[in-house]
Structure 1
């Protein structure tokens, strides 16, 4: 099985924003991710989000482990923190995907950003980009699906999923920040 990522091909790309009231100086997306309880993760996409956890990779790189449904695929993501800042995180995962036809892989890049608009008025941006692996391309070909068909299905499913989770993530991050004003 080849886990070679085809970053020249985009399987899906979704960008959604949500405005929220949050004490910007206390927003810390990296810490929120590292302490995100499973049940709070589940509230951020009811029915789709299954489990979340935090660990480190063999080299000590922090990782967020997320299990969720995207369309008909159960996705197990092992997000490595590439950039972990208070107001911006870039996470990259070589994700395992269980489809009705079996297991495959794809790369998922998750970017989380909080911008201060005015005072405590903030804008959260949730960006999710997925690239196929060579294994994914072989897998869909074996099952009679073209890349265009697979990409259209993934774009639809990912877009619907991100549309739901974005405002709920924004609210969760805002609650976390408010809790840390009260309990530093």
Structure 2
């Protein structure tokens, strides 16, 4: 699938890398904790996919689009988590599907700090492409530019707040 938007944001977590478990953080994130990390966050929960993989289900609003994301675990390490979703997107243009990859990493800076990276990629789906063609949109440049700006702004808001939540949990010792 073609990448139509990509955003990476970083923040420092003041905790040792050994005290962090990104994958457990994703799959145990409570709705109120998720909501506290962005004004666009509506709800979060977890489930199991039809093939038995862990899922993180997130509902958020980004620039007027309501997104229901069903992230399936692809990489599940303490320092690296990658999730893949075919997400439902609701906007004034109607309902469609977007591919979304959400990837989280931590890298050790010092014995008591890490660099946290939050990477989000939005991917073209056949359904979204078809919706654009039906609307007579053939030049994707404005779509990509607008989506990139909105995803980047959202990522810049949520990343430092995700890092603070991870830091708080690391200090509480939940992932020993």
TM-score bracket for this pair, using the shorter chain length: over 0.9
Query: Structure 2-normalised TM-score?
Result: 0.95
Residue aligning to 1:107: 99
Could you tell me how far apart the structure 1 residues matched to 2:13 and 2:170 are? 12
Q: Structure 2: which 5+ runs fail to align?
A: none
Could you tell me how far apart the structure 1 residues matched to 2:151 and 2:67 are? 11
- Which of 4, 11, 14 aligns to 2:4? It is 11
Query: Structure 1-normalised TM-score?
Result: 0.91
**How far 1:115 moved relative to its partner?**
1.1
- Pairing of 1:51-62 with structure 2 (within 5 A): 51-62=43-54
Q: Secondary structure at the match of 2:165?
A: helix
Once the two structures are superposed, residues 31-83 of structure 1 have per-residue CA deviations (whole angstroms, 9 ceiling, x without a partner) of 111110101001111x2000000110011100000000111210100000000
Q: CA RMSD in A?
A: 1.3
Once the two structures are superposed, residues 146-179 of structure 1 have per-residue CA deviations (whole angstroms, 9 ceiling, x without a partner) of 3222111110110100010111111111111111
- Pairing of 1:79-118 with structure 2 (within 5 A): 79-118=71-110
Residue aligning to 2:126: 134
Once the two structures are superposed, residues 103-129 of structure 1 have per-residue CA deviations (whole angstroms, 9 ceiling, x without a partner) of 011100010001110011111000001
**How far 1:141 moved relative to its partner?**
2.2
Runs (4+) of structure 1 moved beyond 4 Å? none
Residue aligning to 1:37: 30
Could you tell me how far apart the structure 2 residues matched to 1:108 and 1:42 are? 19
